[in-house]
A = this chain, B = another copy of it.
Amino acid sequence: MTNRPEPIRRRVPRNTLNRERVLGAAVDLLDHAGPDAFTMRALAQRLGVGTMAVYSHFKAKDEIIDAVRERLLAEVELPTVGSGRTPRDELRELCRAVYRLLADHPSVLHLLTVRPVHGDEGTAVVERILGLLLGAGLDRSAAARAQTALMQYTVGAALWTARGRQRSGDQEDPGTRLRTRFAALPAERYPHLVDLAPELAAAQDGLPQYEHGLDALLSGLLAGH
């Protein structure tokens, strides 16, 4: 891709490795090859550098994990304030932005489950959501619980989708695989499951399913306000 021949994999000259470059390669590696392939050795190789060079910029692998998560969570693009006609519209937009980030980067999801959050990642989103909930008339306690419930559902839905996509080494998409699996169950024991196999398969469609649940959750949380 470069203009130079580079007959031999040239070593990166000094001082060109830095935290930013390491994090970029880490995100690439995670999104492209998955968490299992996210290895210090693979990361260094991708950077064209000895394995231990990375340790000059990060104390340990866990520190890279934290930094990657922080970096990606900070990337959530907040819809402009007042973009929705109602607080509820704006809540939907915010939650969908978080879902989209998690769905686009299954690795972040994995990082969330592997290591708890330390820093103030995602605080901007939380702040906005809390403001909208209070603005909708919820009291302090209800707003806090609603915010937590929205994040819990969002993480769960994203995880659900990522898990379905995980085994896409197979030809079939997760929906069809799930449909055939359910349809093959004994109909006497699981009549509804067998009967609703197509509908259950259709509910594995990521964003539309997320929005269905999100709307229900928002309705329940904002009921009476």
Q: Is A181 a contact of B120 with CB atoms below 8 Å? A: yes
Chain A positions 41-75 with a Cβ under 8 Å from a chain B Cβ: none
Q: Is B127 a contact of A193 with CB atoms below 8 Å? A: yes
Q: Is A145 a contact of B213 with CB atoms below 8 Å? A: yes
Interface residue from B140, B141, B216 paired with A223 (Cβ < 8 Å):
B216
Q: Please name the residue on chain B nearest to A191 by beta carbon.
A: B127
Q: Is B199 a contact of A112 with CB atoms below 8 Å? A: no
Assembled-state Cα–Cα distance A153/B156 (Å): 6
Assembled-state Cα–Cα distance A154/B116 (Å): 19
A159 within 8 A of B: yes
Q: Which residues of B contact A113 (CB under 8 A)?
A: 109-110, 113, 159, 163
Q: Please name the residue on chain B nearest to A199 by beta carbon.
A: B144
Q: Is A159 a contact of B149 with CB atoms below 8 Å? A: no
Shortest Cβ gap from A110 to chain B (Å): 7
Shortest Cβ gap from A91 to chain B (Å): 13
Q: Mark A74-92, 1 if CB is under 8 A from B, else 0.
A: 0000000000000000000
Q: Which residues of B contact A37 (CB under 8 A)?
A: none
Q: Is A159 a contact of B163 with CB atoms below 8 Å? A: no
* Chain A contact residues: helix, strand, loop or mixed: helix
Contacts A127-B190, A145-B213: A196 and B140 contacting too (C-beta < 8 A)? yes
Assembled-state Cα–Cα distance A156/B150 (Å): 10
A contacts with B, residue count (CB < 8 A): 63
A126 within 8 A of B: yes
Assembled-state Cα–Cα distance A110/B190 (Å): 27
Q: Is A200 a contact of B166 with CB atoms below 8 Å? A: no
Q: Which residues of B contact A145 (CB under 8 A)?
A: 199, 203, 209, 212-213
Assembled-state Cα–Cα distance A199/B133 (Å): 13
A215 within 8 A of B: yes
29 pairs across A/B with beta carbons < 8 Å?
A113-B159, A116-B166, A117-B163, A120-B181, A123-B185, A123-B190, A126-B190, A126-B193, A127-B189, A127-B192, A130-B196, A140-B195, A140-B196, A146-B216, A147-B200, A148-B160, A148-B213, A149-B209, A152-B160, A152-B209, A152-B210, A155-B159, A156-B159, A213-B217, A216-B221, A217-B220, A218-B220, A219-B223, A220-B223
